[in-house]
């Protein structure tokens, strides 16, 4: 396997892309391969612990400066703290980071939103950033968004990145009040996350299937029907999707598929910006704010 990217084919849409595996040390990958072969139940338990425990990304210096300028808030969720920041006054716009991310990654949007007359609300999802917890999931994230909505909602707009878009879509179906939405590099399905994890950690497809069934029991959900593409046809929230065709973490084909199945959604190419840089790109930020203003 290539240490950086691996070519992967997606038969459902006929595309082949190079995906970055989830980063993992070689000893973990070789160990999980061995355990998968001789003790699949144990491997599934270990995979469950690894998959739902996000690695906390470093906060960049410039992000820390912007976070410090915001008003901090804290809310309780299952006995643990979820923290966030608020900037400005006016109609609220919720900013939702991706898996393994933090609210600092969304700070380039804060000042333009405030200048446009919005109140920007960003949170660290459970198990991420400065929030408490060691585990997280689609369900954990959606419940956190609901708690934030109780404080600051309804939201005139929502801007989400990567897996944060999946969380947001699920939360909207659960009643999260959102007027318009912008998704940066969103998934349409969960399979890409599962595949990148398998490639990085070294578990077999059979073990991954056992882990997913274990996760469904833990979260009291069935993943069938919870993917963004499954929920999209019944959505009526206006949506703009910004996605780089060269994204190595979330294939452009997923943004395309989501735009095709979400009624009225608009897909905009963000060439050469990868998976994270588009969040800091001034043109993408301006387009996102303009869309929320229905310009």
Tell me what pLDDT residue 213 has.
95
Tell me what pLDDT residue 2 has.
36
More confident residue, 184 or 202: 184
* Residue 5 in this model has a pLDDT that exceeds 70: no
Contacts of 118 by beta carbon, 8 Å cutoff, 6+ apart: 88, 90, 91, 92, 93, 156, 157, 292
Mean of pLDDT values over 131-160: 95
CB 71 within 8 A of CB 81: no
**How many residues would you count in the chain?**
295
What is the spatial distance between Cα 105 and Cα 277, in angstroms, rounded to a whole number?
10
pLDDT class of 18 with cuts at 50, 70, 90: low
Neighbours of 46 (CB within 10 A): 20
DSSP state of 233: G
* Span 149-173, pLDDT tens digits: 999 989 999 999 999 999 999 999 9
% of the chain beyond a pLDDT of 90: 80
**Measuring CA to CA, which residue among 22, 20, 161, 157 is closest to residue 104?**
161
pLDDT class of 15 with cuts at 50, 70, 90: low
Tell me what pLDDT residue 17 has.
57
Q: Average pLDDT of the chain?
A: 91
* Residue 201 in this model has a pLDDT that exceeds 80: yes
* Span 169-189, pLDDT tens digits: 999 999 999 999 999 999 999
pLDDT class of 19 with cuts at 50, 70, 90: confident
6-292 homologous superfamily: Alpha/Beta hydrolase fold, catalytic domain (3.40.50.1820)
CB 114 within 8 A of CB 87: yes
Tell me what pLDDT residue 184 has.
98
pLDDT class of 10 with cuts at 50, 70, 90: very low
What's the predicted TM-score (pTM) here? 0.91
**Measuring CA to CA, which residue among 172, 283, 147 is closest to residue 238?**
172
What is the spatial distance between Cα 107 and Cα 277, in angstroms, rounded to a whole number?
12
Q: Cis peptide before 154, with omega less than 30 degrees from 0?
A: yes
**Measuring CA to CA, which residue among 136, 120, 119 is closest to residue 128?**
136
What is the spatial distance between Cα 135 and Cα 239, in angstroms, rounded to a whole number?
29
């Amino acid at each position: 396997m290539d240490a950086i990217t691996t070519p992967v084919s997606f038969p459902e849409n006929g595309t082949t892309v190079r995906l970055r595996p989830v980063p993992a040390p070689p000893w973990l990958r070789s160990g999980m391969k061995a355990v998968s072969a001789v003790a699949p139940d144990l491997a599934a338990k270990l995979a469950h612990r690894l998959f739902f425990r996000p690695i906390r990304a470093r906060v960049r210096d410039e992000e820390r400066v912007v976070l410090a300028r915001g008003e901090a808030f804290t809310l309780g969720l299952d006995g643990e703290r979820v923290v966030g920041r608020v900037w400005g006054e006016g109609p609220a716009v919720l900013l939702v980071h991706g898996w393994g991310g933090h609210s600092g990654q969304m700070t380039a949007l804060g000042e333009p939103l405030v200048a446009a007359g919005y109140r920007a609300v960003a949170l660290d999802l459970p198990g991420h950033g400065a929030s408490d917890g060691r585990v997280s999931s689609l369900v954990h994230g959606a419940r956190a968004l609901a708690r934030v909505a109780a404080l600051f909602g309804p939201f005139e707009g929502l801007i989400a990145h990567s897996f944060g878009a999946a969380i947001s879509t699920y939360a909207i179906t659960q009643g999260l009040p959102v007027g318009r939405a912008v998704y940066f590099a969103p998934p349409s399905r969960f399979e890409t996350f599962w595949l990148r994890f398998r490639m990085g950690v070294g578990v077999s497809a059979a073990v991954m299937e056992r882990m997913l069934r274990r996760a469904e029991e833990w979260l009291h959900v069935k993943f069938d029907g919870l993917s963004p593409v499954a929920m999209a046809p019944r959505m009526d929230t206006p949506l703009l999707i910004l996605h780089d065709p060269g994204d190595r973490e979330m294939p452009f084909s997923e943004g395309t598929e989501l735009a095709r199945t979400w009624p009225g959604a608009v897909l905009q190419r963000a060439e050469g910006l990868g998976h994270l840089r588009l969040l800091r790109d001034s043109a993408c930020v301006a387009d996102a704010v303009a869309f929320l203003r229905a310009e």
